[in-house]
Structure 1
């Protein structure tokens, strides 16, 4: 009986391993139209008795304004192009601030980690989910280009209530196609990303405007985001 259980567990683990790699390979080439977060948000809306709100339109990185990748890097992950999925300097700084000043520990989550979480995993803070996040981050950094990671990130990240991706955000909050967003529009969208359900690019407050100015200053010395080779 024990051997039978062990065999089932072994084959289950092998199946999960193979399917995870296959999913990463497939998403290297095809658009990501739905994510676990989108589905869970829909269920939350149903539980609250609300109408389902799901706005999402996939576009290629070439159809996005050049300022958009720079804005999210300036805001979220300035070492994106040089790290391999994990920004150890940011993690150390966050841990040091927590130990020295008692500040709330921040994870130093990179764009790669956020992409892995958004596309393949559920929301939460358990050690199991964090371990799987690290695993999928390693896989996408190994199998995808930085351009593909950025493309998936900007198409899948939550940017408002029921709004996912840059094209849907541009349409719902600015009345534009994403390609027509200005540099400051991109900085404004990036400024919402720590908490897009609290901060709105459609109705920015004073804090948001200060964030936009800071992001814009960070963007100025940055080189254009590199095209796919």
Structure 2
């Protein structure tokens, strides 16, 4: 991946009762927030290790939050579709180069995957990374356009299909399908795929503690 593409991470601040609520139960709200924090850190590590024109963290509560090597921006909009669209717009307004956007739900993300997506975006108008639940874990646009995102129904089995439909008329490269961490089964699957992550270590520790 060249340095002509910027990477945006769209995330929630990891606060108990605010993130990863579908992990509760079996995990407590505090434990779910700890897993979310590790997933975010793993994601930021992968982005930091990927050559990029800029690295941006778009956070729902950005007050006082800092991340080394990242520009932290406050999210705008009501629904997730609007927050996604405006994260693209705000990043592009600061630096008018292609944008790759990922969430914080795939701690198995690697610099290699991001580099492949960035290289694809140099040859296509858009890059799309489908998720196993029917959504998507990555979206890249050479030139952001809110009309391509606003109004797409979120958190549904057809979210990915509808987002792809909105990209009609563009050349689109597709990335491998990844599993988002939504519930405990997803967490175990992802930890098994990426055993050396912070996320996997915390999941293993919580499992050991609950077995005592």
TM-score (norm: length of structure 1): 0.27
Structure with the higher fraction of residues in strand conformation: 2
Structure with the higher fraction of residues in helix conformation: 1
Q: Which has the larger radius of gyration?
A: 1
